[in-house]
Structure 1
């Protein structure tokens, strides 16, 4: 299994993580900007390029690597090129998270501009279910809203999220978990945030304040194994393992 990972900032941190997970079963190629000095006393391979994000994605789509991890490549240019190269309208991501107690679950939407319509959320749920099957996560779906059903009438915004969650539950077969995220993450393998902003806040709160772990956010609508990573998380080794696990199921 060959996994590519990008590194344009904090390069040493990426190299250390990639070297730790290199093994007989996972070979890692690091995609770097031109001119970056590398060591020869390592199992890693290197690909230097003027545009490492393009080189990583091109290698993935040509089948030269089995999976890709964004690493510390710029988010905007990398995801934009991934979208253009794969021909999708929008990148759809689902994050694999883990609580401090070791409970793993999938969370989506996690991008501030993702899951903005009912149809978009339905696509994310279906993508999350496919991902759950690939990596052995319970595919049950809990849909969060901005309050409890007893809160109807207190706020138009809360009412809207309650109505959307009820509709999504009927369409997808999921369960409306109301605002009870503390119960949802222990009950469901897939947790659906009311929108991308709250999903991003959930991720940051868990990983940066709650001592949880982010394993990366696979893109679920492109047909190849690509794991997005956040600058808020240092677990690039986890993302490499996740990309390899998904690639093995393709």
Structure 2
């Protein structure tokens, strides 16, 4: 029998989600994990098919995993208005520069292609193109978004467009990879869409690792955790 491990913290939605998942997937065993270090051990355990963070705190787990896999990054898998997309970076300390976001974009491209999907990349910035000059942070973000767009255009054959701050246009155009200006902005977008506006999310795919690890919010709903368990189960196949 296949085993999926999931972290149990203060959010008891995890327990109810496990019961619901088990009813639909009786041949998959669920292992409940209550400590950060035990969840990391589960990720490294060859006898465990996949791991879901659940409601355990992320920082210690990611920090420990980076000792084994230093190039970790995450992309949240969101089911939007009748279409799906990857949103990244979403970790507040991820995607700090153009090179990191370039690597993240390539990881997202590879992931979608494995499922036979055609990547459509949207690059975001912290202002419109004509907002350049309205403060150093805004100007640097706009300049970096242009650099990243050009880097992707010159090094890949993928469909990419710089939407600057206009995330609504990127979603209307059904971009299936959305690259935020940095992890802090990406995290806010995730919380706005998923936790506040109830867009379904399957959790975050973790790149740079040869294991299946689905990162999740500590504040996710029962349905959200069921989706994450389902994604982990599907990927393990």
TM-score, normalised to structure 2, is 0.86
Structure 2 counterparts to residues 130-141 of structure 1, below 5 A: 130-135=110-115, 137-141=117-121
Query: Which of 184, 209, 212 is residue 170 of structure 2 equivalent to?
Result: 184
Partner residue, 1:246: 235
Counterpart-to-counterpart distance in 1, 2:198 and 2:4: 27
In structure 1, which of residues 78, 88, 93 is the aligned counterpart of residue 69 of structure 2? 88
Asked if 1:63 is matched to 2:53, the reply is no
Structure 2 vs 1, CA of residues 153 and 32 (structure 1 numbering), >3 Å: closer, same or farther?
closer
Counterpart check, 1:142 vs 2:157? no
- Residue equivalent to 1:14: 14
- Give, in angstroms, the shift of residue 228 of structure 1: 0.6
**For residues 146 and 152 of structure 1, what CA distance do their matches in structure 2 show?**
10
Q: Does 1:109 align with 2:89?
A: yes
In 2, Cα distance between equivalents of 1:128 and 1:20: 29
**What's the secondary structure of 2:73's corresponding residue?**
coil
Give, in angstroms, the shift of residue 231 of structure 1: 1.6
Give the structure 2 partner of residue 195 of structure 1: 182
Q: Distance in 1 between matches of 2:38 and 2:132?
A: 51
- Name the structure, 1 or 2, with higher relative contact order (CA <8 Å, separation 6+): 2
Question: Unaligned stretches of 5+ in structure 1?
Answer: 34-51
Q: Deviation at 1:56?
A: 3.3
Give the unaligned 5+ runs of structure 2: 154-159
8 Å CA contact retained: 1:112, 1:200: yes
Task: Classify 1:73/1:154 alpha carbon distance in 2 versus 1 (closer, same or farther; 3 Å).
Answer: closer
155-164 or 121-130, which moves further after superposition? Answer: 155-164
Q: How does 1:27-42 map to 2 (within 5 A)?
A: 27-33=28-34
Cα deviation, residue 137, structure 1: 5.0
TM-score scaled by length of structure 1: 0.82
Q: CA deviation at 1:136?
A: 5.4
Task: Give the structure 2 partner of residue 43 of structure 1.
Answer: none
- The one of 204, 224, 233 equivalent to 2:211 is 224
Moved more, 113-122 or 210-219: 210-219
